[in-house]
Amino acid sequence: MNFPILSTLIFLPLISSFFIFLSKDKKNNFSSIYISLFSSIATFLLSLFLWYSLDANTAEFQFVEEKSWINNFIKFKLGVDGISILFIVLTAFITPICIISCINSVKDRVKEFLIAILVLETFMIGVFCSLDLVIFYLFFEGGLIPMFLIIGVWGGSRRVYSAFKFFLFTLLGSVLMLVAIIVIYWLTGTTDITEIYEIKIPKEHQNLLWLAFLSSFAVKMPMWPVHTWLPDAHVEAPTAGSVILAAILLKMAGYGFLRFSIPMFPYASEFFTPLIFSLSIIAIIYTSLVALMQEDMKKLIAYSSVAHMGYVTLGIFTFTKQGIEGSIYQMISHGLISAALFLCVGVVYDRLHSRLISTYGGLVNYLPKYSLLFLIFALAALGLPGTTGFLGEFLILTGTFQKSYLAAILATLGVVLGAAYMLWLTKRVIFGVTQNPKIQTLSDVNKSEIIMLATLAFFVIFFGFYPMPLMETFSVSVNGLIDNYQLALNNR
């Protein structure tokens, strides 16, 4: 395989954003929209091709590209395995949806917005492809710049506060990871993670390094108690920004745990499992309760994201096949569902410019198609069997029961709470009595909105009934991950 397919995948959006930068159209931004749509769909097709040609029967990294980069000691190394390919496909799938959504919701500076989205896509795909710690850090942090601008320029009324909070929280978490990366370099003499897997980091250094990585991933995840930037960022970000934030940026941390924390620091991962378990359980129960009390729809979904990410960390640190597979599945499913829910909020926000639950009520009478779609996603979010949301949570809980009954029982409580806030939200927004006369004048979803939401709904239900394509992709890689982890622990 000589064609550098991963580099193409990473840099295609960047190059097309450069063309958008050069394009000149004064009135409507057709050419920018077409370029970005075309390039993002091309990226998506390329990622599908990558998925198709990936050999799922091996845990090895495939399509590896290597180039000397900084003084021969840091290599520009890319590669994918069964775990990362799904996140790449998810990223490439969500980006065109965001671009379609901005046709309706972004009114000024469309060109710059599309550039920001495409640059962000480059960084996001880069995160999931990189096999070198420095490259990973580069992409992981680089994504802050476009996201900061997306929140700050196109956001709501408190956008400045939210954008700063988002940027500084994430940067503060990440600098410690940078220290850890450099320390790993001096300990092992390389930053290539496949080599680090072989060399094995000395046991006495693992705990501190693991904590440094945690500081970054915990903020990005976000885990309780550093989750507070997320509701602010979500509420103020424009719809497309919220979608990308919820669907992909949050997954970077979960992916980081799987790719870096567990394989590189097996002892520390085992040692800190009780910490992760407690933080996850607190996140699940506490943020679910907080979500119950929200009056802002976006805030409610944001808190529910924190709770769902709590399941993900819980599942990852069970180190069981069910738990880790459930976590990956939950991340993909949450990527689809939360993206859809934010788009749903965006649809009514574009019409009434309010995110408050109290503004709405009885939408089912006037917007039947919209209500159906909203209902599907709400039910998927609470984990109704037959949707992707169910399978992830079910597998995670199965995994957790093998490790700790207490944690599993408490986490199951979160499922009930999740049903409570989602159903209550649906009741207040979709059903109930119409108080607000403006709702009667609303138009139902238009074509582009139908395209976005129906595609997402199709995949949520399709993969809910038939999860095999996803499961088969990452199954072998997950086995390899757990085997290496067990091997490392047995060798002590």
* Phi-psi group of 71: left, alpha or beta (phi > 0 → left; psi -120 to 50 → alpha; rest → beta): left
The phi and psi torsions of 75 (rounded to 5 degrees) equal: -105, 150
Site string for other proteins, 88-127 (x = CB under 8 A): ------------------------x---------------
**What's the rounded Cα separation, in Å, for the pair 135 and 70?**
11
Closer to other proteins at the Cβ: 154 or 265?
154
Q: Which stretch binds other proteins (CB under 8 A): 33-41, 78-86, 93-101, 170-178?
A: 170-178
Q: Which of 37, 41, 48, 179 binds other proteins (CB under 8 A)?
A: 179
Q: Which of 61, 185, 394, 424 binds other proteins (CB under 8 A)?
A: 185
The distance of closest approach from Cβ of residue 140 to other proteins in the complex, given in angstroms and rounded to an integer, is 8
The distance of closest approach from Cβ of residue 28 to other proteins in the complex, given in angstroms and rounded to an integer, is 18
292 binds other proteins (CB under 8 A): no
Site string for other proteins, 139-168 (x = CB under 8 A): x-xx-xx--xx--xx-----xx--xx--xx
Q: Which of 186, 204, 433, 447 binds other proteins (CB under 8 A)?
A: 186
Residues found in the chain: 492
Site size toward other proteins (CB under 8 A) is 34
3-state SS assignment for residue 381: helix
**What's the rounded Cα separation, in Å, for the pair 299 and 232?**
8
Query: For residue 345, what is the DSSP state?
Result: H
Strand partners, 231: none
Closer to other proteins at the Cβ: 113 or 360?
113
Q: Which of 48, 138, 292, 384 binds other proteins (CB under 8 A)?
A: 138
**What's the rounded Cα separation, in Å, for the pair 173 and 212?**
8
Q: Which stretch binds other proteins (CB under 8 A): 67-75, 98-106, 274-282, 322-330?
A: 67-75
211 binds other proteins (CB under 8 A): no
Query: For residue 102, what are its two tokens?
Result: 């901005």
Closer to other proteins at the Cβ: 51 or 136?
136
134 binds other proteins (CB under 8 A): yes
Q: Which of 51, 93, 128, 137 binds other proteins (CB under 8 A)?
A: 137
Q: Which stretch binds other proteins (CB under 8 A): 1-9, 171-179, 410-418, 469-477?
A: 171-179
15 binds other proteins (CB under 8 A): no
Closer to other proteins at the Cβ: 168 or 423?
168
Provide DSSP, 198-234.
HH---HHHHHHHHHHHHHHHHHHTTPTTS-THHHHHH
Closer to other proteins at the Cβ: 45 or 172?
172
Closer to other proteins at the Cβ: 172 or 406?
172
Peptide bond into 202 cis (omega under 30): no
Provide DSSP, 395-452.
HHHHHHHHH-HHHHHHHHHHHHHHHHHHHHHHHHHTSS----GGGGG-----HHHHHH
The distance of closest approach from Cβ of residue 198 to other proteins in the complex, given in angstroms and rounded to an integer, is 22
Choose among 135, 424, 98: nearest CA to 259: 135
**What's the rounded Cα separation, in Å, for the pair 254 and 309?**
8
Closer to other proteins at the Cβ: 69 or 431?
69
**What's the rounded Cα separation, in Å, for the pair 232 and 141?**
20
The distance of closest approach from Cβ of residue 171 to other proteins in the complex, given in angstroms and rounded to an integer, is 5
Closer to other proteins at the Cβ: 140 or 474?
140
Q: Which stretch binds other proteins (CB under 8 A): 70-78, 250-258, 297-305, 446-454?
A: 70-78
Distance of CA 337 to the CA centre of its chain: 11
81 binds other proteins (CB under 8 A): no
Are residues 252 and 144 in contact, defined by beta-carbon separation less than 8 angstroms? no
Are residues 481 and 489 in contact, defined by beta-carbon separation less than 8 angstroms? no
Give 173-176's long-range contacts (Cβ < 8 A, gap of 24+).
173/215, 173/216, 173/217, 173/218, 173/219, 173/220, 173/226, 174/137, 174/140, 174/141, 174/216, 174/219, 176/212, 176/215, 176/216
Q: List residues near other proteins by CB under 8 A.
A: 68-72, 112, 134, 137-139, 141-142, 144-145, 148-149, 152-153, 159-160, 163-164, 167-168, 171-172, 175-176, 178-179, 182-183, 185-186
